[in-house]
């Protein structure tokens, strides 16, 4: 009797012969589009948060911008602004922030 030949042409490669197809061009385009939409959404949410912060406390927002412009690290600027006494004006806030540096 004839011996049965496997459909792979006689070579048994096991799992090595399996090829997993990569993403199709349309799937790649969709992934790129989703990443772009996510960046847009994150930017818009950050802008909304900034606008709300500016509206609630313009002195803190202005000081944060000024500290950033002179190269103060974001976490340090946030800490300094968080330590400001309530009701300070911009000039008092500047003095307080500089004293904290």
Looking at the fold, whether 70 and 37 belong to one and the same domain comes out as no
Q: What is the pLDDT of residue 14?
A: 53
Per the CB < 8 A criterion, the answer to whether 96 and 84 are in contact is: yes
Question: Distance between CA 87 and CA 84 in Å, rounded?
Answer: 9
pLDDT in tens, 23-77: 788 888 999 999 999 999 999 999 999 888 888 889 999 999 999 999 999 999 9
Say whether pLDDT at 86 is over 80. Answer: yes
pLDDT of residue 35: 96
Examine the domain organization and report whether 62 and 41 are in the same domain: no
Q: Tell me if 6 is assigned to some domain.
A: no
**Overall number of domains in the chain:** 2
Q: For residue 7, is it within any domain?
A: no
pLDDT attached to residue 70: 92
Cα diameter, the chain: 100
The predicted pLDDT at position 56 comes to: 87
Q: Which domain holds residue 30?
A: 26-56
Contact predicate 64/93, CB 8 Å: no
* Rg from Cα positions in the chain: 30
């Amino acid at each position: 009797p004839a011996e049965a030949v496997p459909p792979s042409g006689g070579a048994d490669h096991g799992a090595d012969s399996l090829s997993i197809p990569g993403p199709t061009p349309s799937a790649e385009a969709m992934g790129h589009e989703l990443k772009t939409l996510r960046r847009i959404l994150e930017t818009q949410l950050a802008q909304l948060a900034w606008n709300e912060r500016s509206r609630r406390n313009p002195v803190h927002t202005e000081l944060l911008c000024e500290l950033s412009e002179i190269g103060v690290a974001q976490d340090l600027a946030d800490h300094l602004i968080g330590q400001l006494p309530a009701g300070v004006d911009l000039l008092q806030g500047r003095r307080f922030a500089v004293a904290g540096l």
